[in-house]
Amino acid sequence: MKKILLLVIILGGLNITTAQNYLDLVRLNVANTTLEDLEQTHETNITNVNLEFLLPTPINDKTILITGMTVENSSLVLGSGLSRENLIMTRINLGAKVYHSKKWTGTYLLLPKIGSNLGAEVANQDFQMGAIALLEYRHKNRFRTKYGLYSSSEEFGTIITPLLGVYYRTPNNKFYIDAAFPIRMEANYSLTKKISLGADLRTSVKSYNLGLTDRYVQEESIRGGLYLSYTMDKFIVRAKAGLDTTDYGLYNSGDKIGAQILTIQVNGDDRARLNNEFDSSLFFGFDMIYRLDL
């Protein structure tokens, strides 16, 4: 059910690839939930923290160098009788945004990362490599579409994700939608200059090496929620609530599926899962954003 939901809800995008008229230089997302497995034999409290930094540097009139870092930590117990794990992802974002013409803009990034519980010294299985290429077409200043591809080597194999996105802002600037499907989506409506209501959706598929246990975790995450936002100059604070359908599958190291397109395994999945699938639950959280208007 989780995989079907992740495939159907094609809404989202990497924050650094969007075609909006703002730029988030620092973004902190914190969410907390309690998930129970489908067999109702295990329950765990989960705290997820995601911190992103972005530093754009103009090289010339047509090229902007993009550097940044993303750090994410999820703390949970994967199953009955197991100890609490801190699943940590540290990623470097390195690439460029190129203005090919008045209509076309390209964003090209290398995304090397470490996915691990960092319980022992860093191993080869901790290192993964991702890349993204995204073309943006400007129909009008308030309306743009995006087309691209994201791929990453994971502990379970290679994931390939086609990207399709849109950015639109109304003439009165009260409403905008910003999405690159299927990684991230945000819709926002301004009630006043400082207060707004919105909805966002973030999805991801990634893996974490568990070091000395010779196991790894495959995370398939969908977090969708509503928020109330307050803006103080360049700082934005949001209170959020929504539905978390994240699943954390535990597998033996070396047990792979090969290539995966979105949530579909090209050659099928005959791995032996070592824990039960998690059910969905409500989550509560907050965001803190440092944003520049362009």
**What confidence tens digit (pLDDT) does each residue in 62-85 have?**
999 999 999 999 999 999 889 999
| Mean pLDDT value of segment 205-219 | 91
The answer to whether 98 and 58 are in contact (CB under 8 A) is no
pLDDT band at 16 (very low <50, low <70, confident <90, very high): very low
264-265 and 281-293 strand pairing: unpaired
Q: For the chain, what is the mean pLDDT?
A: 89
SS3 state of residue 160? strand
pLDDT in tens, 101-118: 999 999 999 999 999 998
Give the span between the Cα atoms of 111 and 95, in whole angstroms: 9
Among 29-38, 46-55, 116-125, 151-160, which is the least confidently predicted range? 116-125
pLDDT for position 4: 40
pTM of the model as a whole: 0.88
| Mean pLDDT value of segment 33-51 | 95
Is the backbone peptide bond immediately before 182 cis, with ω within 30 degrees of 0? yes
